[in-house]
Amino acid sequence: MQVIRYPEKNTWNALLQRPVFDTRELEATVSAILADVKVTGDAALRKYTQQFDKVTLTDIRVTTAEFEAADAILDEPLKNAIRQAALNIEAFHRAQVESVTLIETMPGVQCWRKPVGIEKVGLYIPGGTAPLFSTILMLAIPARLAGCNEIVLCTPPGKDGLVHPAVLWAAHFTGITQVFKTGGVQAIGAMAYGTESVPKVYKIFGPGNQYVTCAKQLVNSAGTAIDMPAGPSEVAVFADDACVPAFVAADLLSQAEHGADSQVLLVTTSEKVIVEVEKEVAAQLALLPRKELAAQALDNSKLILVKDRDEAMDMLNDYAPEHLIMACENDEALATRVINAGSVFLGNYSPESAGDYASGTNHTLPTNGYATAYSGVSVDSFVKKITFQRLTREGLLALAPSIEAMAAAEGLDAHKNAVSIRIKSN
């Protein structure tokens, strides 16, 4: 990790850059795959699964027998862990379900808003170096609470042509029966356009690598909604002398192990913290099974020493991290200064891993600086909010002068007449 001490504010923009990729070449590759899926459907899914995953598929859809086999294979302690996480996630997200509130804006004029679940949604669950079955809980539970009628899940198969048993068990546990063995760009295309096997959906959710993110953005520009333009995972930590350096190092490594394109950032007011965290990172990294991947991510990462807490918060808000850990004195008071972050973890005993798995908050969050404008996934992500209104004759009579005056000023006489004709009748 690179150590930077007391950087000038005019250098922050360059200093806080995420890893850069050649998106022009990326878009060309992704566009070609999407076009192929749109035209040839399942044939394209089989072709790209063979090309990228080295797996020859006969059935794209997961069978009942495969769900049953996953249930038999998965050990009971892991099932219980998933059940516990699901309970917490459901408790947190159930509180987000809105009731309908009728507002009388003036006598005889009633307005209300009704949340309606998006009818068909698609969930993308990455496989690759880590089968993210926890993401199923984060997406399927709020989708069910929102009232989505059809939930489709796509995930890449392993080398044996099967989906990881924990992914299948979590899917079945959350009520998902439509699971398809296809990953990457082709999975996004399948859900956006529909194929002979995979149903077309109205909105696609889920994290992924640069290719998946690019595919989501391209299908979004063509009319399929997406949750957010999320990319590789990241964490920023603010720490002072109240932190436990070993904990901070563990948090940095927990994100670094996601992959070479992840980034971690430590901002601190203490030189001592930098020295001790560096030492702990080296010691803990050596013991990790995924140390090669984590080491590559650390090459993109920085330890930054700043002069005070105010400067630290300004820098972190500029960075707008997906995850922000505040391991510092008076963390809750300082957290009131946070304006750009996906999810915030306060104190020495709130590891980012808690939010990733089981505390209850959602781990599908904006990355790459999108936390300046996007929220993480919630029940709201899975609903449309439709407004309703009812005016009585008396209500329209009272409101008519305002409507007519405004319509006339805009030169929209038919708009004015739609009111005038009513108040002149009877």
Q: Check: CB of residue 363 under 8 Å from CB of residue 356.
A: yes
209 assigned to a ligand binding site: yes
356 assigned to a ligand binding site: yes
415 assigned to a ligand binding site: yes
Residue the block writes with tokens 């690759």:
128
2 assigned to a ligand binding site: no
255 assigned to a ligand binding site: yes
314 assigned to a ligand binding site: no
d(CA 169, CA 158): 15
Sign, CA torsion 23/28/33/34? positive
363 assigned to a ligand binding site: no
**138 Cβ partners below 8 Å, 6+ apart?**
89, 362, 363, 364, 377
Cα angle at 209 between 208 and 214, to 5 degrees?
A: 90
Q: Check: CB of residue 55 under 8 Å from CB of residue 354.
A: no
Q: What is the CB-side half-sphere exposure of residue 241 using CA atoms within 13 A?
A: 4
Sign, CA torsion 269/273/278/280? negative
Q: Check: CB of residue 56 under 8 Å from CB of residue 161.
A: yes
Specify burial of residue 346 (Cβ count, 10 A radius: 0-12, 13-18, 19+).
Answer: middle
425 assigned to a ligand binding site: no
Q: Check: CB of residue 378 under 8 Å from CB of residue 372.
A: no
- Which entry of 66, 257, 322, 404 is annotated as an active-site residue? 322
Query: Which structure tokens are listed for 164?
Result: 């990881």
Give the pairing of strands 302-305 and 225-226. unpaired
d(CA 135, CA 302): 28
**70 Cβ partners below 8 Å, 6+ apart?**
163, 165, 166, 167, 168, 169, 172
Report the 10 Å Cβ neighbour count for 299: 12
413 assigned to a ligand binding site: no
Q: How far is CA 235 from the centre of its chain?
A: 14
319 assigned to a ligand binding site: no
Of 223, 217, 261, nearest to 31 by C-alpha is 217
322 is catalytic: yes
d(CA 313, CA 238): 8
- Which entry of 93, 172, 323, 363 is annotated as an active-site residue? 323
Q: How far is CA 314 from CA 1, 31, 130, 326, in A?
A: 22, 38, 34, 14
Q: Which residues are annotated as a binding site for substrate?
A: 233, 255, 258, 323, 356, 410, 415
For the annotated binding site, the residues are 124, 186, 209, 233, 255, 258, 323, 356, 410, 415
Q: Annotated catalytic sites, by residue?
A: 322-323
Q: Can you say which residues are annotated as belonging to the binding site for Zn(2+)?
A: 255, 258, 356, 415
